Amino acid sequence: MDMTVAILTLMAGIGVFLIACTMLSSNLESVCSVRLRNLFAKASDKKLVGVGVGTVATAAIQSSGATTVLVIGFVNAGIMSLTLAAAVIYGANIGTTITAQIVALGLMGGGGISVTLLFSALTGIGAFMAAYAKGDRNRKYGYIIAAFGLLFIGLEMMSDAMSGFAEMESVKTFLAGIHNLVLLVIIGAVLTAIVQSSSVVTSIVITMLFTSLIDLEQGIYLTMGSNIGSCIVAIMAGFSSGTNAKRAALIHLLFNISGVTVFMIAGYIMGFATGGELSYASMFAAAFPLPETQLAMFHTIFNVVTVIIMLPLTERLIRVVTRIIPDRDVPPEKAEEPRLFFVDDHMLKTPGIAVGEAKNEIVNMGRMAMDNFNRSCRMILEGDMSGAEDFARMERQIDFTNRQLTRFLAKLTRCELSSGDAAYVTTAFRSVNDIERIGDYAENIMGYAEKLSSSGGSFSSDAHGEVEEVVSRINDLFERAIDAYSSCDRGTVEEAHAIEQEIDLMTTAMAERHIGRLNSGICTAEVGAEYLALTSDLERIADHIYNVARSVGEVARAPA
> According to the 3-state scheme, what is the secondary structure of 452-481?
HHHHCCCCCHHHHHHHHHHHHHHHHHHHHH
Residue 510 is assigned to a structural domain of this protein: yes
- Which pLDDT value is given to residue 554? 62
- Which pLDDT value is given to residue 42? 64
- Which pLDDT value is given to residue 113? 47
Residue 338 is assigned to a structural domain of this protein: no
Residues 403 and 306 in one domain: no
Residues 374 and 481 in one domain: yes
Q: What is the distance between the alpha carbons of residues 103 and 120, in angstroms, rounded to a whole number? A: 12
Query: Taking the alpha carbons of 411, 414, 417, 420 in that order, is the dihedral positive or negative?
Result: positive
Point out the domain boundary residue: 324, 340, 374: 324
Q: What is the distance between the alpha carbons of residues 99 and 17, in angstroms, rounded to a whole number? A: 11
Q: What is the distance between the alpha carbons of residues 123 and 17, in angstroms, rounded to a whole number? A: 13
Provide the residue-wise pLDDT of the chain in tens; the chain has 560 residues: 567 887 888 888 888 877 887 777 777 766 666 666 666 666 666 788 889 888 888 877 667 777 787 787 778 766 678 888 899 999 988 988 888 887 787 776 544 445 667 778 888 998 988 888 887 778 888 888 888 888 778 877 877 777 776 666 776 677 667 778 899 999 989 888 877 778 778 888 888 888 888 889 999 999 999 889 888 877 877 776 678 888 888 999 999 999 999 999 999 999 888 887 888 999 999 998 888 899 999 999 999 999 999 999 999 999 999 999 887 654 544 446 788 888 888 778 778 778 888 998 999 999 999 999 999 999 988 888 888 899 999 999 999 999 999 999 999 998 878 777 888 899 999 999 999 999 999 999 999 888 888 877 777 788 888 899 999 999 999 999 999 888 877 788 889 999 999 999 999 998 888 777 766 666 666 677 788 888 999 999 999 999 999 887 665 444 44
What DSSP state is assigned to residue 313?
Answer: G
Residue 334 is assigned to a structural domain of this protein: no
Residues 28 and 135 in one domain: yes
> Residue 59's domain spans which residues?
2-324
Point out the domain boundary residue: 305, 324, 343: 324
Residues 171 and 265 in one domain: yes
- Provide the angle, in degrees to the nearest 10, between the axes of the packed helices 291-310 and 198-210: 140
Residues 127 and 261 in one domain: yes
Residue 214 is assigned to a structural domain of this protein: yes
Residues 301 and 357 in one domain: no
Cβ atoms of residues 241 and 76 within 8 Å:
yes
Instruction: Sort residue 338 into left (φ over 0), alpha (ψ -120 to 50) or beta.
Output: beta
Residues 311 and 397 in one domain: no
- Residue of 399, 397, 416 lying closest to 351 (CA atoms): 416
Residues 253 and 320 in one domain: yes
Residues 307 and 364 in one domain: no
Cβ atoms of residues 57 and 324 within 8 Å:
no
- Which pLDDT value is given to residue 514? 74
Amino acid at residue number 478: F
Q: What is the distance between the alpha carbons of residues 183 and 87, in angstroms, rounded to a whole number? A: 30
Query: Taking the alpha carbons of 57, 59, 62, 64 in that order, is the dihedral positive or negative?
Result: positive
Q: How far are the Cα atoms of 384, 456, 508, 534, 557 from residue 528, in angstroms, in the given order?
A: 19, 14, 15, 10, 45
Give the Cα-Cα-Cα angle 325, 314, 260 (nearest 5 degrees).
90
Q: What ranges in 167-242 are assigned the alpha helix state H?
A: 169-176, 181-195, 198-210, 216-229, 231-238
Amino acid at residue number 158: M
Q: What is the distance between the alpha carbons of residues 175 and 279, in angstroms, rounded to a whole number? A: 20
Q: What is the distance between the alpha carbons of residues 144 and 104, in angstroms, rounded to a whole number? A: 20
Residue 235 is assigned to a structural domain of this protein: yes
Residues 316 and 446 in one domain: no
Model pTM? Answer: 0.72
Number of domains in the chain: 2
Residues 413 and 544 in one domain: yes
SS3 32: coil
Residue 340 is assigned to a structural domain of this protein: no
Point out the domain boundary residue: 289, 324, 359: 324
Residue 104 is assigned to a structural domain of this protein: yes
Residues 197 and 287 in one domain: yes
Instruction: Supply the CATH number for residue 418's domain.
Output: 1.20.58.220
- Which pLDDT value is given to residue 543? 95
Residue 400 is assigned to a structural domain of this protein: yes
